[in-house]
């Protein structure tokens, strides 16, 4: 059965817009779990633009599902992961100037560095996933490096339409079979929403989908009317 990992970075984005204490992603992780989230994902970025170190440590103590720490393969992040001990780490590429993760991690061209990095995490009992584009050479390299999981990048699939989208879906399906045959557990994510998720969720042996933006956007859509009503009633009761 395919499970759902909920990425709560956008909750922290709203908090950091004011550099205040609300909304607190730790509280929203609890609500996501109430809604059925099977894991909670946070990306601790080098520039700390949304999730803060404090969030990661508190989530480790408070969530009842699994903690997926997304991070770049840097020494700074390795040291933090080894203190937090998330259930798993997903290694992603990171550029300071990007709005969100662009493209998968090029594991093929960093094999030796990543072998040591992954081993170091696994020695601390942390499972490790690689966020990669759905290409055969990236899949075989992920296996060689020693990753337990891969997360197939669905961003391109999400952006395309019509025949091109079907072609990209086919590439993702074939990649997931190839990875499974090699013994890798297959996750997928990026850009998935209420209109395009079903095709990806129905891929055989799809383990987990990681979804953030569309879920947080939907939360605003279903919650804003109530929050305005509550404010209005406070103003009226004076
Ligand atoms: N997976 C990875 C590796 C990501 O970097 C992100 C975005 O932070 C997601 C999944 C979730 O993507 P989205 O917010 O578009 O659902």
The tens digit of pLDDT for each residue in 108-161 reads 999 999 999 999 999 999 999 999 999 999 999 999 999 999 999 999 999 999
pTM above 0.85, yes or no: yes
Cα–Cα dist 190/72, whole Å: 16
Contacts of 70 (CB under 8 A, 6+ apart): 7, 41, 42, 43, 44, 89, 90, 92, 101, 131
95, pLDDT greater than 90: no
Q: How confident is the model at residue 235 (pLDDT cuts 50, 70, 90)?
A: very high
The pLDDT score that the predictor gives to residue 237 is: 85
Please report, for the chain, the start and end positions of each structural domain, with discontinuous segments joined by +.
Answer: 3-236
In the chain, what percentage of residues exceed pLDDT 90? 95
Residue 164, number of CB atoms within 10 A of its CB: 12
Give the fold, CATH level 3, of 3-236. TIM Barrel (3.20.20)
Residues flanking ligand 1, CB < 6 Å: 7, 9, 43, 70, 90, 92, 100-101, 131, 151, 189-192, 210-214
State which ligand 1 atom lies nearest to the alpha carbon of 92: 3
Catalytic residues: 43, 70, 190
| 129 touches 90 (CB < 8 A) | yes
State which ligand 1 atom lies nearest to the alpha carbon of 131: 3
33 C-alpha to center of ligand 1: Å? Answer: 18
Cα–Cα dist 136/174, whole Å: 9
210 C-alpha to center of ligand 1: Å? Answer: 6
State which ligand 1 atom lies nearest to the alpha carbon of 193: 16
């Amino acid at each position: 059965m395919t499970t759902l990992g909920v990425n709560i970075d956008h909750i922290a984005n709203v908090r950091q817009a004011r550099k205040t204490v609300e909304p607190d992603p730790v509280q929203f992780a609890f609500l996501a779990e109430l809604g059925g989230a099977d894991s909670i994902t946070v990306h601790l970025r080098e520039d700390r633009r949304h999730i803060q170190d404090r969030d990661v440590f508190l989530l480790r103590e408070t969530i009842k599902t699994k903690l997926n720490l997304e991070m770049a393969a840097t020494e700074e992040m390795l040291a933090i992961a080894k203190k937090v001990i998330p259930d798993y780490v997903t290694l992603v590429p990171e550029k300071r100037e990007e709005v969100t993760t662009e493209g998968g991690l090029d594991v093929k061209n960093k094999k030796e560095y990543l072998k040591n990095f992954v081993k170091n995490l696994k020695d601390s009992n942390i499972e490790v996933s690689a966020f990669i584009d759905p290409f055969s050479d990236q899949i075989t390299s992920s296996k060689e490096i020693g990753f337990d999981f891969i997360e197939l990048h669905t961003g391109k699939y999400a952006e395309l339409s019509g025949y091109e989208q079907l072609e990209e879906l086919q590439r993702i399906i074939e990649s997931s079979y190839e990875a499974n045959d090699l013994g890798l557990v297959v996750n997928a994510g990026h850009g998935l929403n209420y209109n395009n998720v079903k095709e990806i969720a129905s891929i055989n042996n799809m383990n987990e989908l990681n979804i953030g933006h569309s879920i947080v956007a939907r939360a605003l859509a279903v919650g804003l009317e109530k929050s305005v009503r509550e404010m209005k009633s406070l103003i009226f009761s004076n």
